[in-house]
Structures are given as C-alpha cells and as structure tokens.
Amino acid sequence: MRTQRWTTTLAAALGCLVPDVRAQTGSLKDLGSLLASQKNLTTFYSLIQKYPQILFQLPSQDGVTILAPNNDAFEKIPYTELNAAFANNDQTIITNVLEYHILSGSKTAAQLIPGAPVFIPTLLTNPSFSNVSGGATVENVKQAGDVVVFDLEFNGGYVQVIDSLLIPPANLTTTIESFNLTSFEGALYQTNKLTNYTTTPNSTIFVPQNDAFQALGPAIANMTTDQLSAILDYHLIPSQVLYTPNLTNGSTFVTANGGKITVRQGGNNLYINSAQLLNANILIANGVLHTIDNVLNPAGPDALPNPQIASQGPVFASAERASNLPFTSAIPCTSSCPVSSVTSASASVTGEGVAATRTSVRSSATAVSSSSSRAGVARARETGLGGVGLVMAVGGAVLMI
Ligand SMILES: *[C@@H]1O[C@H](CO)[C@@H](O)[C@H](O)[C@H]1NC(C)=O
Ligand SMILES: *[C@@H]1O[C@H](CO)[C@@H](O)[C@H](O)[C@H]1NC(C)=O
Ligand SMILES: *[C@@H]1O[C@H](CO)[C@@H](O)[C@H](O)[C@H]1NC(C)=O
Ligand SMILES: *[C@@H]1O[C@H](CO)[C@@H](O)[C@H](O)[C@H]1NC(C)=O
Ligand SMILES: *[C@@H]1O[C@H](CO)[C@@H](O)[C@H](O)[C@H]1NC(C)=O
Ligand SMILES: *[C@@H]1O[C@H](CO)[C@@H](O)[C@H](O)[C@H]1NC(C)=O
Ligand SMILES: *[C@@H]1O[C@H](CO)[C@@H](O)[C@H](O)[C@H]1NC(C)=O
Ligand SMILES: *[C@@H]1O[C@H](CO)[C@@H](O)[C@H](O)[C@H]1NC(C)=O
Ligand SMILES: *[C@@H]1O[C@H](CO)[C@@H](O)[C@H](O)[C@H]1NC(C)=O
C-alpha cells in the first residue's frame, strides 16, 4: 500500500492528474520536488515529466534507487548509440532506457559500493533488452579511493546522480559484432545457431576470442556442421546467468552440449577448463557473456590451465595456426558488416562513419572492461572528471558523490 501512496504523490508532484496529495509522508520530499530542487538534474526531470508512465510501475515495499543522469550526461547523447532514439523521440527506446535507470530496492551510495561487483535488477523487462529473470541488471563496481557519500533521499527511496546515461544490454548478435568476436559469430552462422543463442533466455555464453579459432585452424575449420555444433554448445550454459562472483574455484556447470565445464582459479585469473577468462561480465539481453582465450573442447573437459604462462595452448589435437580467421566468410555481408579499418580510422558523418565511431567507443569499453571487470556495455566516460570524488561506476557510468 505504501507503494501506491507514494506513486500517487509522485504523480501529483509531477503535475499529473491525480489530485490526492494527502499521502505526503513525513518530511521527505516526493521525487518531483527533489528533482526540481537539483539544478544539475533539470533535463532528467523534464524527461520524467514527459514519460510519467514510468513512475506508475514503480514497485515494491523496498522502494527504488533512481540513477539520475545529470545534465552533462544528456549533452553526451549525440556521441552515443542512444543518439538516434533521442533525436527521433523514440518513445519505446527512451522508456526502456529510463526503466534501466531504476533499480529495485532503496539503496544508499554506500550500499552500492560492494567489495565485489554486484548485479542489481532494474525495472527493464522488455525481452529485447532483458530476456532474463527479474529484469536487466546493472553492474556496479567499486573504484579506488575512500568515499564520503551524499544520498538524495525521497519518500520512495534514493536518487543517485551519475555522469552518463546507462545503455541497456544489446542482444548477443549485436554484442559479438561490437566486440569483434567474428570467428564465433561466423561459427554460429555456419551452424545456424545465431538466432537460437540470441534468444535463449537466462544464458551464460563463453566466447573464444578470434585468435583462439585462428590458432586451431583446420582442426576446427574442417569440422562437419554437427561436430562444430557440439563444440559451440559446450560454450553455452542455459538457464543460469553466471557473473564472475558465481564462477567460484572448482564449481562445475552443465552446458547445452550436456558436458560439464569446470571453473578454476589460479592466482588472480579465472579459467574455464584450461581457457582463461579475459573480458568478463559483458551484459547481453539474454544473460551474460565472458570472453576466453581458447576454444573449449568437450572431449577434453579435464584440461588444466598452467597459470604460470600468459596464454593457454589449444586443447584440440592437430591444431595448426591458420592465416585467416575461421568461419568469418559465413557472416552474411549486410549493413552490419564489420567496418573496414580504413573507415574506422576516419569517422565521418556518413552512416558508415557512425558505425565506425560506435565500434571505437565499444572497443575502448572493452579495454576498460578487461582490467576492471566492468560491464561490457560500459561506455566511455569523461576523463577530465577523474579525481573529484568519482569513486564508483554503475553500469559504466560514474556516480557523482
Ligand atoms: C553540477 O554541475 C556543475 C556544472 O557542470 C558541476 O561543476 C558540478 O560538479 C555538478 N554537481 C553535481 C553534484 O553533479
Ligand atoms: C528465464 O527468464 C525468463 C524471463 O525472460 C523468466 O520468466 C524465467 O523464469 C527464467 N527461467 C529460468 C529457468 O530462470
Ligand atoms: C577485428 O579483428 C580483426 C581480425 O583479428 C582485426 O583485423 C581488426 O582490426 C579488428 N577490428 C577491431 C575494430 O578491433
Ligand atoms: C539483435 O538486435 C539488433 C539491433 O537491435 C536487431 O536488429 C536484431 O534483429 C536482433 N537479433 C535478434 C535475433 O533478436
Ligand atoms: C525471449 O525468450 C523466448 C523464450 O523464452 C524466445 O522465444 C524469445 O524469442 C526471446 N525474445 C527475444 C527478444 O530474444
Ligand atoms: C535453442 O535450441 C535448443 C536445442 O535445439 C532448444 O531446446 C531451444 O528451445 C532453442 N531455444 C530457442 C529460444 O529457440
Ligand atoms: C581442410 O579443408 C580444406 C578445404 O576442404 C582442405 O584443402 C585441407 O586439406 C583440409 N585440411 C586438413 C588438415 O584436413
Ligand atoms: C549467482 O550468485 C548470486 C550471489 O551469490 C546468487 O544470488 C545467484 O543465485 C547466483 N546465480 C546462479 C545462477 O547460481
Ligand atoms: C582452486 O582449487 C584448487 C583445487 O582444489 C586448489 O588447488 C587451488 O589452490 C585453488 N585456487 C585458489 C586460488 O584458491
């Protein structure tokens, strides 16, 4: 009942139809008054006023945490892939994006700063972005430094100010293209599994980097479709969304192939069988993906890593490095073809140029992720802000404290 009361209050404060303001509780402001009082949140406030329906679905006894992008964050939209949606006033995408900024549960900034990354469900449940149980998650990661935090409390939870808009997870297809995981993508095309992998809910997918396929050469490129299917299915764990905190030393998981994989820890590295986890916790619409440095072999589940060496050797007999990238010719050449390096280098105002820019933003995000385990959808953030109390990232955006 409390929920109903404060959404009513919200609606009133936002100038909506509901006249009942008696429910105003205690001395805490309602969300509308709080946002109106923050000079850095005026753009977000107008957006919420424009899409008040978001607030009518606010849940729960436990309140919510609203990650409110500051005005500067909106200035960056033209440089992000949200540009088209905002320029065209695409109501569906904007609503999804706003929902992705609302976390279940009322959390102070201190509670958002964990020792290990935590993944908090959001209100976003549109299956195009969130075919997972309980809504798309946002990862938050502790940055270095001591923290003194100021929470903006309202009568339904907390508002936390962030410096960039969060971008909801893209689907598997889009994500592997962004991360240039083209051999894996081609192998999924070749076996006609791409749509299945992209739409199977609650999945964990281990994706070997291109070099892993190249190192195998004909040992994988010459497989029959059935053999290749069996290998690929050994990289998908259905019905379990496993982030790195779930990948504990010695744990085993059953794959779509039926065989089990084993997680091993050596020093600070995690291994899946003997393949090292490289870029972890990349959020996708139907779960999470992690990149690895080797193709997993269901015929050799007991392969052990050698943590003393930087990269693990192939686990397929007769591996022989190829000069080309296996399976990439199976990727149909459409508008989503990877942009050539020439185009990448010169971002222009053409459609291709936009794609190239996006690729470069994504790849810089990749670089960040590999060192910090940040969500793969993490976006470039303002580097000039470093140091002024920016101590934590939520889904790639920096919390302003
Ligand atoms: C508010 O915006 C001003 C100007 O961009 C900036 O200097 C200040 O740090 C911002 N404050 C917060 C809390 O975001
Ligand atoms: C998988 O995700 C869907 C939401 O897309 C959810 O309804 C379902 O319960 C989940 N299944 C499992 C086994 O977790
Ligand atoms: C993608 O991978 C290919 C082959 O490894 C490489 O030539 C190309 O430069 C990469 N592109 C990006 C944007 O990383
Ligand atoms: C993945 O997302 C892209 C971009 O939104 C979309 O064009 C494509 O149809 C989606 N793929 C699947 C299998 O849903
Ligand atoms: C979500 O998962 C269901 C299976 O539960 C699948 O049929 C559907 O295509 C998926 N939706 C998207 C947008 O991927
Ligand atoms: C993907 O393929 C598997 C195995 O063929 C099947 O059980 C599953 O229902 C498919 N999932 C979707 C979403 O099509
Ligand atoms: C792999 O297949 C190619 C093309 O069919 C063939 O030329 C090559 O000899 C095969 N290599 C091996 C190691 O079987
Ligand atoms: C992953 O770990 C979290 C936190 O311990 C737990 O709540 C969740 O159930 C785990 N997920 C799976 C699929 O085991
Ligand atoms: C992981 O488990 C193995 C086997 O029990 C053990 O030898 C190893 O020391 C463990 N690694 C870490 C980092 O605890």
Pair of tokens at residue 239 = 């019905």
Position 394 scores a pLDDT of 55
Q: Flag whether 339 is in a domain.
A: no
Q: What is the DSSP letter of 168?
A: P
Q: Flag whether 113 is in a domain.
A: yes
| Same-domain status, 260 and 206 | yes
Between 357 and 324, the more confident residue is 324
Position 109 scores a pLDDT of 77
Does the structure show a pLDDT above 80 at 291? yes
Position 24 scores a pLDDT of 42
| Same-domain status, 11 and 133 | yes
Question: Which range among 126-140, 186-200, 227-241, 350-364 shows the weakest confidence by mean pLDDT?
Answer: 350-364
| Same-domain status, 54 and 196 | no
User: Taking residues 23-27, what's their average pLDDT?
Assistant: 50
User: Taking residues 307-315, what's their average pLDDT?
Assistant: 86
| Same-domain status, 185 and 43 | no
Position 104 scores a pLDDT of 83
| Same-domain status, 279 and 190 | yes
Q: Using CA positions, which residue lies closest to atom 7 of ligand 2? A: 133
pLDDT in tens, 93-136: 999 999 888 888 888 877 776 556 678 788 888 888 888 876 77
Contact 186, 331 (CB under 8 A): yes
Q: Using CA positions, which residue lies closest to atom 4 of ligand 9? A: 250
Contact 261, 295 (CB under 8 A): no
| Same-domain status, 36 and 92 | yes
User: Taking residues 183-198, what's their average pLDDT?
Assistant: 98
Task: Provide the number of structural domains found in the chain.
Answer: 2
Contact 270, 292 (CB under 8 A): no
| Same-domain status, 17 and 136 | yes
Q: Flag whether 344 is in a domain.
A: no
Length of the chain counted residue by residue: 401
Q: What is the DSSP letter of 257?
A: T
Between 13 and 107, the more confident residue is 107
Q: Cα of 45 to ligand 4 centre, how many Å?
A: 31
User: Taking residues 274-295, what's their average pLDDT?
Assistant: 94
Between 393 and 372, the more confident residue is 393
**298: Cβ below 6 Å to ligand 8?**
no
Q: In the chain, what is the straight-line distance between the N-terminal and C-terminal CA atoms, in Å?
A: 32
The CA distance from 66 to 389, in Å, is 20
Q: Cα of 186 to ligand 2 centre, how many Å?
A: 28
Q: Flag whether 103 is in a domain.
A: yes
Strand order across the 260-266 sheet: 252-254, 260-266, 269-272, 275-276
| Same-domain status, 185 and 248 | yes
Which residues make Cβ contacts (< 8 Å) with residue 54, sequence separation at least 6?
48, 95, 98, 99, 102, 123
- Sign of the C-alpha dihedral, residues 18, 22, 23, 27? positive
Percent of the chain with pLDDT over 70: 70
Position 346 scores a pLDDT of 27
Question: Which range among 61-70, 226-235, 273-282 shows the weakest confidence by mean pLDDT?
Answer: 61-70
Q: Using CA positions, which residue lies closest to atom 2 of ligand 3? A: 180
Report phi then psi at 23, rounded to 5. -70, -5
**246: Cβ below 6 Å to ligand 8?**
yes
Query: What distances in angstroms separate CA 132 from CA 97, 174, 286, 346, one per listed residue?
Result: 16, 17, 6, 38
| Same-domain status, 74 and 181 | no
Q: Flag whether 138 is in a domain.
A: yes
pLDDT in tens, 48-84: 999 888 877 676 567 888 889 999 999 999 988 899 9
Q: Cα of 242 to ligand 8 centre, how many Å?
A: 7
Report the SS3 class of residue 9: helix
pTM of the entire predicted model: 0.78
Contact 392, 115 (CB under 8 A): no
The CA distance from 236 to 298, in Å, is 12
**70: Cβ below 6 Å to ligand 1?**
yes
Position 372 scores a pLDDT of 27
Q: Which domain CATH number covers 129?
A: 2.30.180.10
Q: Using CA positions, which residue lies closest to atom 13 of ligand 8? A: 240
| Same-domain status, 13 and 72 | yes
Atom number in ligand 6 closest to CA 199: 13
pLDDT in tens, 133-174: 767 777 654 443 443 446 788 888 889 888 888 888 899 999
The CA distance from 371 to 390, in Å, is 18
Does the structure show a pLDDT above 70 at 23? no
- Taking Cα atoms as reference points, which of 260, 283, 310 lies closest to residue 395? 283
Q: Cα of 274 to ligand 5 centre, how many Å?
A: 32
Position 167 scores a pLDDT of 86
Q: Cα of 195 to ligand 5 centre, how many Å?
A: 10
Q: Flag whether 27 is in a domain.
A: yes
pLDDT in tens, 333-372: 865 555 543 333 222 222 222 222 222 222 222 222 222 2
The CA distance from 186 to 207, in Å, is 12
User: Taking residues 303-316, what's their average pLDDT?
Assistant: 88
Position 71 scores a pLDDT of 93
Q: Cα of 1 to ligand 2 centre, how many Å?
A: 27
Residue where a domain stops, chosen among 330, 349, 374: 330
Q: Flag whether 400 is in a domain.
A: no
Residue where a domain stops, chosen among 330, 348, 371: 330
Q: How large is the angle between the packed helices 182-190 and 225-233, nearest 10 degrees?
A: 130
| DSSP strand pairing (203-208 vs 287-292) | parallel
Mean pLDDT across the chain: 75
Report the SS3 class of residue 284: strand
Atom number in ligand 8 closest to CA 242: 13
Q: Cα of 188 to ligand 6 centre, how many Å?
A: 14
Q: Using CA positions, which residue lies closest to atom 11 of ligand 9? A: 265
| Same-domain status, 140 and 12 | yes
The domain of 80 spans 4-166+358-394
Q: Flag whether 347 is in a domain.
A: no
327: left (phi over 0), alpha (psi -120 to 50) or beta: left
| Same-domain status, 211 and 146 | no
Atom number in ligand 1 closest to CA 161: 14
